[in-house]
Amino acid sequence: MQTEVKGKAAFAVVAAVQLPGVSDIEFEASLAELRDLSKTLGYKVVRTFTQKRTAFDTSAYLGLGKRVEIRDFINGSEVPDSSIGTIDRVFVDHEISPSQARNLENDVGCDVMDRTMVIFSIFHRNARSRAAKAQVEIARLGYMAPRLREMAKLAGPQGRQRSGTGGRGAGESHTELDKRRIRDRIAELQQEIAAMDVERKTQRSRRQERQGLASVALVGYTNAGKSTLMRALTGSEVLVENKLFATLDTTVRTLYPESVPHVLVSDTVGFIKNLPHGLVASFKSTLEEALDASLLLHVIDASDPGFERQLEVTDKVLAEISAETVPRIRVFNKVDQVGDAVIQTEFEIMLRAQYPDCIVMSARRIDDVATLHKAIVAFFRKDLIEAELFLPWSAQKLRGEIFSSCEVLEERADIEGAFLRVRGTRGVLEKYTGL
């Protein structure tokens, strides 16, 4: 089944059930998010259908009346704009079972895709590194495994028990064989990821030991502007797209202008409400950049009316990966999009009163980026210590390295070498003590 549209306009509708206890604001925010996810897949959402129910319809998610309404719209009897092409897909804002999806498809006359599969499709498309691709595949297989039996029943006789042939044990059904293959594939991928994790951690450790680098990680809701901020802080060309989950692989660059200590900046995968649990678990290794960082920049889209929801989701995911104790700076980005200058000023005053240590900024304003740069450097400089190093003339090849990784406060020459009074991190200074 095709999940992504390329080279042509595609139209879709969104459908959702509002359950008791879900506020109108939360419900609409989730719908807006699903529309953005649909856009990322290449679809233009032309209408949203909603229904309040005490529970999902067990057979087809939506009630019969709403299914008929959607079918009539798709068939054209209620399409107000004749320029709208064929409706290719119905996106639903919850995870539904294979039987619910099949029954809903039969009733509305169109392919159906639930929220979980939308997210999996985007992750699958955007994964670039071996690690990210493997993590997405593990999550997808974990999602499919418990659904195989129901899917086999829906498929008919081919899902039932057959005699064993060609590697299938006697009496082993296609479903059981598929489950075994999935288990084997997941185990294989987990071994690959474990090996990649060891390699990545070794490279990171060597890099930090060699260069005396501190580390800061950008975390936050997807599409909060992390990649734009990353580019502004490092002067590097990283992917910047107005799409959800444009960044899946961790990108690491050096803070620019360079400082003492040198600071590594990493951009991590964005968070989202109701992110499939399998993806949270499988991306823990990618998010380890946040765990290993000395400082987190929690980037929030200040222009989003529901930014408090972003805060809650990010805090929850950080807690799930045991990164809630890492020091952080809340960075309210995109303040230039909240209104005119007067509104921006009032909004900034409100945010600073509510979050006293936050930074309110726009990643597109040079002065704002400089303010954040200063705050990052100040965080790491508070832990610097001073020491006196003796550099023999025979070891002058280390001079450039010391000047690069430390702040040299004073230098005086001696007959056997040079005395340097420097300021740097404890780890860097210990490296050069006793030369």
Contact partners, residue 22, CB within 8 Å, separation at least 6: none
Q: Render the burial of 372-388: b for 16+ CB within 10 Å, e for the rest.
A: bbeebbebbeeebeebe
Does 363 belong to an annotated binding site? Answer: yes
- For the chain, 435 residues long, give each residue's pLDDT as a single digit of tens: 455 555 566 899 999 999 999 999 889 989 998 998 999 899 999 999 999 999 999 999 999 999 999 999 999 866 556 566 689 999 999 999 989 999 999 999 999 999 999 988 888 887 777 877 888 888 888 888 877 777 666 666 655 554 444 444 544 566 777 888 989 999 999 898 888 877 777 766 665 554 556 889 999 888 889 889 999 999 876 554 555 555 555 678 889 988 888 898 988 777 777 777 667 665 665 566 666 788 999 999 999 888 988 888 888 878 877 788 889 999 999 999 999 999 999 999 999 999 999 999 999 999 999 999 999 999 999 889 999 999 999 998 899 889 888 889 999 998 999 999 999 888 888 888 765
Does 49 belong to an annotated binding site? Answer: no
**Where are the domains positioned within the chain?**
10-122, 127-193, 212-381, 385-432
**Are 152 and 312 spatial neighbours (Cβ–Cβ below 8 Å)?**
no
**Are 220 and 270 spatial neighbours (Cβ–Cβ below 8 Å)?**
yes
* pLDDT, position 79: 56
Burial of 294 (0-12, 13-18, 19+ CB in 10 A): middle
- 185, containing H or E segment: helix 174-211
Question: DSSP letters of 76-101?
Answer: TTT-S-TT---EEEEEESS---HHHH
Does 225 belong to an annotated binding site? Answer: yes
CATH class given for the domain over 10-122? alpha beta
Does 274 belong to an annotated binding site? Answer: no
* pLDDT, position 374: 96
Does 246 belong to an annotated binding site? Answer: yes
The torsion angles phi and psi of 210, rounded to 5 degrees, stand at -70, -40
**Are 247 and 227 spatial neighbours (Cβ–Cβ below 8 Å)?**
yes
CB atoms inside a 10 Å sphere around CB 352? 14
Does 65 belong to an annotated binding site? Answer: no
Does 223 belong to an annotated binding site? Answer: yes
The torsion angles phi and psi of 137, rounded to 5 degrees, stand at -65, -40
* pLDDT, position 1: 43
Does 224 belong to an annotated binding site? Answer: yes
Does 268 belong to an annotated binding site? Answer: yes
Cα angle, residue 364 at apex, residues 359 and 370 outer, rounded to 5°: 50
Does 362 belong to an annotated binding site? Answer: yes
Q: Across-strand partners of 49? A: 15
Tokens 């699903």 correspond to: 34
Does 219 belong to an annotated binding site? Answer: no
**Are 10 and 46 spatial neighbours (Cβ–Cβ below 8 Å)?**
no
**Are 93 and 16 spatial neighbours (Cβ–Cβ below 8 Å)?**
yes
Does 6 belong to an annotated binding site? Answer: no
**Are 278 and 142 spatial neighbours (Cβ–Cβ below 8 Å)?**
yes
**Measured distance CA(134)–CA(281) in Å, rounded:** 13
* pLDDT, position 82: 55
Does 61 belong to an annotated binding site? Answer: no
DSSP structure class, residue 57: B
* pLDDT, position 276: 72
Same fold: 10-122 with 212-381: yes
**Measured distance CA(230)–CA(268) in Å, rounded:** 10
Residue 235 region, left (φ>0) first, then alpha (ψ -120 to 50), else beta?
left
**Measured distance CA(273)–CA(276) in Å, rounded:** 9
Contact partners, residue 194, CB within 8 Å, separation at least 6: none
Does 163 belong to an annotated binding site? Answer: no
**Are 59 and 104 spatial neighbours (Cβ–Cβ below 8 Å)?**
no
User: What's the whole-model pTM score?
Assistant: 0.74
- The CATH number of domain 212-381, selected from 1.10.357.10, 3.40.630.10, 3.40.50.300, 3.30.70.20: 3.40.50.300
